Structure 1
């Protein structure tokens, strides 16, 4: 089993959308996939589940259902039950009553599972932050706290016999994301073709190297033998350019100068090496277009853009766009698997 964290500390680049579609496409390619929502905004969970399932999972009345904008629970129930989010799993640590609680992944489709997130996960931030430096001294309680995500994800992946785990994390360099990334074998970075993504890369790369160094040099040697701790490899496998406007299958000119700068910033900041020539795209895995009207149709149908049918509103020429979307995400999934294998 290999884990991939999708991360950029600049928000709004389409990270959760990429995680959702990549998970579904990897399943289409025959892998057993576990998607993990470690973003306290829990947007991946909201994309994967129906509104009545979210209502039950979080034990909160849905405003969309109350307003008639989403259907009420059909006969037969949903795929989740209350108390089965990652926030529920870490609650005993947060409240000082014990270690992690076991949670059951939700089966979305044959071969695809979700470890749901929750808005309550944000409460774990201060606990993770205060325990971080205690791990340097080998404090076992602090180590249990910091490795909680790793152990929760590992247990869930073992339970469903996952081939690959995709971890969706929030857009910041806080303590929750540090614990999430320490649990990841590899890191895939979604980027937009703009100044803010370049600034995000400049901050992200050195921070990942610092976290990796601190964990491997200061913490791992102090962890008791047999304790299930991650190695914090966090190997960068490349980046995906998200949602540039396309003309004749190429990004329009307004984005070109930013696209030309990304390879150099990625190599220097993330890989810690000498910047390559601007045209060197060796670390770019794919460029995904803006699919415009497919996204709201996808949200309404609760299915990936590349699975939309005429009954979902994908009519006429839109169906050709759906086919293009399928080809591009299939190519992306195959490229990600190749990078993961090589890493």
Structure 2
């Protein structure tokens, strides 16, 4: 089982859309997938579930003994009343299960900075809170016998994303063709490098028994995906997307790969290039896919036949991305 996250500090780069469509393509390759909604905005949960079902889940998630959402299972740990609880994964299609997110995940995130400090002091509560989400995901991934865990995360470098990325085996950065997305790569590189270095210090201070029970915290860099879900064209460039594409590769090399490699060369395996693939702008098809709750490449029969060529192109694009991710993850 491999854990993967698509992570960029900048919003609007298509993380959730990419995650949904890559999960679908992995399932088409007969890889079983568990999607974990670790974003308090619950974007991927709201993608798959209609409003009434989501309202029902969130309405009961805070009740004692509830198994509705990720927060329901983490609540006992946050409140100091026990270990992680159980949660009922939802089957979205054959080969894809979802652990629903919750706006109350922000309560878990509020506990994480204190827990992080407690880890340096070798306190059991610090380890327990910091690795609670990891234990929850492991329990479900092992029960379902999945091949891949895909975390969906928010666009920030906060405490919740820190524990998610440290729990991953591989992380990939979606990058849109705009200045802010490109600049965010510097924050991604510095933040992940610091998280890894700090966690290795925590592990070195931990007892052998504690070291065995907490995650390793050495996520390798899987590369980047160029995403054109939102493209800010500017006013002067004749082909702004192509111009930004030329700037992405050296920025990834200098601000992510080099920074992580300085912490540990094993974090940057040689995959024969840092680019995983690229996704073009599918315009109205992305919101159409959300309306029906499934991948863009499965929209035949649901949209105007004039869009079928683009639907098929999407299916081929995400199939290629999935195959490359399988190769890089060694699944």
TM-score (norm 1): 0.85
| Equivalent of residue 244 in structure 2, options 245, 253, 258 | 258
Q: Is 1:3 paired with 2:7?
A: no
Alignment of 1:41-60 (within 5 A): 41-59=41-59
**Alignment CA distance shift 1:171-1:40 (3 Å):** same
Q: In structure 2, what is the equivalent of residue 340 of structure 1?
A: 329
Alignment of 1:80-91 (within 5 A): 83-91=67-75
Offset of residue 271 of structure 1: 1.3
SS of match in other structure, 1:96: coil
| Equivalent of residue 231 in structure 1, options 191, 197, 216 | 216
Say whether the 8 Å CA contact 2:296–2:314 is kept in structure 1.
Answer: yes
Alignment of 1:1-343 (within 5 A): 1-59=1-59, 83-225=67-209, 227-243=212-228, 253-272=239-258, 282-310=273-301, 313-341=302-330
Q: Superposition RMSD on alpha carbons, in Å?
A: 2.2
TM-score (norm 2): 0.88
Offset of residue 188 of structure 1: 0.9
Q: Distance in 2 between matches of 1:296 and 1:55?
A: 21
SS of match in other structure, 1:198: helix
- Cα deviation code 1:248-285 (max 9, x no counterpart): xxxx711222211111111111112699xxxxx92111
Say whether the 8 Å CA contact 1:89–1:102 is kept in structure 2.
Answer: yes
SS of match in other structure, 1:306: helix
Q: Distance in 1 between matches of 2:4 and 2:27?
A: 15
SS of match in other structure, 2:330: helix
Q: In structure 2, what is the equivalent of residue 74 of structure 1?
A: none
SS of match in other structure, 1:240: strand
- Cα deviation code 1:179-213 (max 9, x no counterpart): 11111111011110111112110011011111111
